[in-house]
Amino acid sequence: MQMGCVSSKLAASLTEEESIRSTHSDDCFLHATADRNTAVCYAYGAYGIGNGSVLQVSVPAVVASYGAEVVRPVCTKSERVELNIAEDGRAAFFARKDFETLLVVWQLSTANGHILAHLDVADLNLGDRLEGSTKPTLTTDEVFLGSSVDGMRKHNMLAAMAFRKTEMYQQNVQDCANRNLLSVSTDGSGLPGEDCGILTKLSRQYEHVGDKHDSTYALGLEATRKATVTSMQATGRWHYK
């Protein structure tokens, strides 16, 4: 990423199924996911020695450069059927689990608008999650629960700023401006209030969950989890074996 681009190795002639089910040092595909936590897992790597980078990719920009046929959303059953990926096989399992899309491109670059943002996994301070663990890798739940709040906030901000540059964002803004909308606002503090009757009475098990799950954070997380074709997370290192 020092030069603002990432390239596939293009050395091996692999089928989509072969590429997904195993790790290849000479993979001819770039692997992408619609879930940011999944991207972080693979970028973090075994024992934290992965490449440490998550890239936010604009699929429309990729299509504009290379054509729609280079984007292969193997997370969908229809795409797996078309590519002859067996539903009961290892490749289909990973494709479903990882919300995976294959990109048949030789290079993605910031100059051509393919790469919208670069997220540094080191910002999330995930090292403590592996201490004392017998597992070499992290799960998506461990990434979500173990990430630094400040690091996640930084990534959310970078991802949101990048998305604002896309045509889809501009179109969404225009569509909203043309509709009659009602806006509801709350302070979202989560602080216990006065007991004013059954509608405001707090349960005995109530516990303030803290800043990590505030409304802004939750909305940001939901936005990154949606499997849209406009904003996807890509990592150069995908499967660990």
**pLDDT for res 7:** 82
Is 189 part of a structural domain of the chain? no
Is residue 130 assigned to a domain? yes
Distance CA 7, CA 116 (A): 16
Tokens of 173: 């803004």
Domain boundaries, position 78: 5-176+213-235
pLDDT digits (tens, 9 = 90+) for 104-141: 998 899 999 889 889 999 999 998 777 766 788 888 99
Residue of 110 and 222 predicted with greater confidence: 110
Report if residue 188 sits inside a domain.
no
Higher pLDDT: 44 or 11? It is 44
Phi and psi at residue 149, to the nearest 5°: -60, -45
| 7-20: average pLDDT | 80
Q: Is 201 within a domain?
A: no
pLDDT in tens, 154-213: 999 998 888 887 777 777 666 666 666 565 555 555 555 555 444 444 444 434 444 444
Mean pLDDT value of segment 9-17: 78
**Dihedral of CA 155/161/167/173: which sign?**
positive
Number of compact structural domains in the chain: 1
Residue type (1 letter), 82: E
According to the model, what pLDDT value does residue 187 have? 53
Is 49 inside any structural domain?
A: yes
Phi/psi of residue 169, nearest 5 degrees? -65, -45
Residue at 202 is within a domain: no
